[in-house]
């Protein structure tokens, strides 16, 4: 049935495109042809993007709980799902986890990517090979990367603990430690007396979450390195020559030349990396399928998936969580654009 409809639509599209040659008005003919060429992509966007978005908004105002149920058989609950999310302790837990992930992963990714980009922009042999090597992790699927790093950070036979023990450092429970890294550093590392129960945002991401952050930084560095490299190569060499004549050191050149002129690229990378970080799901699901120790690796998208498709089947509530996440990302993007955008130099 679907194949027959597709064939009929293609025939109709072809006939309509052929019929445009009989339009006498040249301007009208060009406009009609343009819309016909755009129509296949528009139909795909409507079917697989716009319609599902509108439908999910409607679902978020219902108590729909079964995939097989008709939308006409569910009850309309208004904003009840959104109010429930704000009052839900589980939702707040995963929100704190997500914020921890974003706060630590984004700066680390940006810093490492910029550092690698500056190395690749320097006079270095086989730069093309190194750029390819750094970019390869990004084109590798998250599932494959997560499986590999799950074994690398395995508590009993992983490579990470193997090398730690070779250096005389006790093995770590990389994916089984629920305490935050700040808490671990201060209490266990420096012996600082701390409260028994610290707020998740003060304690930092758990060691399990930080392990996932290390994995994501390793994967995403190559992609953002390419973007930074494009920005660096767009800076006119004459600025550096003038700075050298004035006696500026490499550090001063970076501070007064590279950093200001790289601000549009940095601004773009910050926004994209933040949006990507808020939507993270696969590494948590593969490396810690139960949400990690004490649910410390369960993020908003993980929680959404669990509520909607892993036993709970509360599709209305899951849809509401999705749009709360959308609102958070939208607000933070606008704030970034308002605050950081003013400091961007486009000249």
Q: Is 190 within a domain?
A: yes
**Mean pLDDT for the stretch of residues 234-243:** 86
Tokens for 303, please give them.
């929680």
Pick the closest to residue 214 from 274, 276, 149 (CA basis). 149
Rounded to whole angstroms, how far apart are CA atoms 30 and 196?
71
Q: Is 261 within a domain?
A: no
In this prediction, residue 73 has a pLDDT band, given cuts at 50, 70 and 90, of low
Say whether 336 sits in a helix, a strand or coil: helix
Q: In this structure, are 37 and 163 located in the same domain?
A: no
Res 347: pLDDT: 63
In this prediction, residue 199 has a pLDDT band, given cuts at 50, 70 and 90, of confident
What is the DSSP track for 240-308? HHHHHHTT--HHHHIIIIIHHHTHHHHHHHHHHHHHHHHT--HHHHHH-TT-SGGGTT--HHHHHHHHH
Q: In this structure, are 200 and 280 located in the same domain?
A: yes
Q: Is residue 36 within 8 Å of residue 17, measured between CB atoms?
A: yes
Q: Is 289 within a domain?
A: yes
Res 320: pLDDT: 93
* Whole-number percent of the chain with pLDDT over 70: 97
Final residue of a structural domain among 59, 75, 91: 59
**Which neighbouring-strand residues pair with 76?**
62
In this prediction, residue 69 has a pLDDT band, given cuts at 50, 70 and 90, of low
Tokens for 62, please give them.
């219902």
Q: In this structure, are 192 and 46 located in the same domain?
A: no
Residue 216 belongs to domain with CATH number: 1.10.3720.10
Q: Is 258 within a domain?
A: no
Phi, psi of 158 (to 5 degrees): -80, 155
Q: Is 333 within a domain?
A: yes
Q: In this structure, are 50 and 104 located in the same domain?
A: no
Q: In this structure, are 161 and 34 located in the same domain?
A: no
Q: In this structure, are 24 and 171 located in the same domain?
A: no
In this prediction, residue 126 has a pLDDT band, given cuts at 50, 70 and 90, of confident
Q: Does the pLDDT at position 70 exceed 70?
A: no
Number of domains the chain contains: 2
Torsion sign, CA atoms 185, 188, 191, 197:
positive
In this prediction, residue 63 has a pLDDT band, given cuts at 50, 70 and 90, of confident
Tokens for 236, please give them.
């006119």
pTM for this structure? 0.88
Res 72: pLDDT: 59
Q: In this structure, are 114 and 221 located in the same domain?
A: yes
Model confidence over 308-320: pLDDT tens digits?
Answer: 888 778 888 999 9
Q: Is residue 178 within 8 Å of residue 208, measured between CB atoms?
A: yes
Rounded to whole angstroms, how far apart are CA atoms 273 and 269?
6
The Cβ of residue 290 has, within 10 Å, a number of other Cβ atoms equal to 10
Q: In this structure, are 277 and 154 located in the same domain?
A: yes
Q: Is 156 within a domain?
A: yes
The domain in which residue 47 lies consists of 2-59
Q: In this structure, are 34 and 100 located in the same domain?
A: no
Q: Is 65 within a domain?
A: no
Q: Does the pLDDT at position 34 exceed 70?
A: yes
Q: Is 72 within a domain?
A: no
Q: In this structure, are 29 and 164 located in the same domain?
A: no
Q: In this structure, are 121 and 29 located in the same domain?
A: no
Q: Does the pLDDT at position 3 exceed 80?
A: no
Q: In this structure, are 169 and 285 located in the same domain?
A: yes
Pick the closest to residue 98 from 230, 271, 295 (CA basis). 295
Res 302: pLDDT: 94
């Amino acid at each position: 049935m679907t194949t027959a409809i597709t064939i009929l639509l293609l025939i109709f599209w072809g006939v309509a495109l052929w019929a445009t040659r009989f339009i006498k008005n040249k301007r009208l003919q060009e406009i009609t042809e343009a819309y016909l060429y755009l129509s296949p992509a528009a139909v795909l966007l409507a079917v697989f993007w716009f319609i599902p978005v509108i439908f999910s908004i409607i679902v978020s105002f219902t108590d729909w709980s079964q995939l097989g149920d008709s939308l006409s058989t569910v009850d309309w609950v208004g904003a009840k799902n959104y109010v429930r999310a704000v009052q839900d302790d589980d939702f707040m837990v995963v929100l704190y986890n997500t914020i921890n992930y974003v706060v630590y992963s984004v700066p680390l990714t940006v810093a490492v990517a910029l550092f690698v980009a500056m190395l690749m922009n320097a006079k270095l042999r086989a730069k093309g090979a190194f750029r390819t090597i750094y970019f390869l992790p990004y084109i590798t699927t998250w599932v494959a990367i997560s499986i590999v790093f799950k074994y690398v950070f395995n508590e009993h036979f992983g490579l990470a603990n193997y090398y730690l023990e070779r250096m005389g450092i006790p093995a770590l429970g990389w994916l089984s430690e629920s305490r935050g890294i700040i808490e671990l550093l201060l209490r266990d590392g420096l012996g600082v007396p701390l409260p028994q129960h610290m707020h998740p945002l003060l304690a930092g991401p758990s060691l399990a979450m930080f392990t996932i952050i290390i994995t994501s930084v390793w994967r995403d560095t190559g992609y953002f390195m390419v973007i930074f490299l494009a920005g660096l190569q767009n800076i006119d060499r004459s600025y550096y020559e003038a700075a050298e004549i004035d006696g500026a050191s490499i550090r001063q050149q970076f501070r007064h030349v590279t950093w200001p002129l790289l601000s549009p690229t940095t601004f773009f990378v910050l926004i994209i990396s933040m949006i990507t970080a808020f939507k993270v799901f696969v590494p948590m699901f593969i490396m810690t399928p139960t949400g990690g120790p004490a649910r410390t690796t369960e993020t908003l998208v993980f929680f959404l998936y669990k509520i909607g498709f892993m036993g709970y089947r509360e599709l209305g509530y899951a849809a509401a969580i999705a749009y709360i996440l959308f609102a958070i990302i939208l607000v933070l993007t606008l704030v970034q654009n308002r605050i950081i955008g003013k400091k961007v130099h486009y000249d």
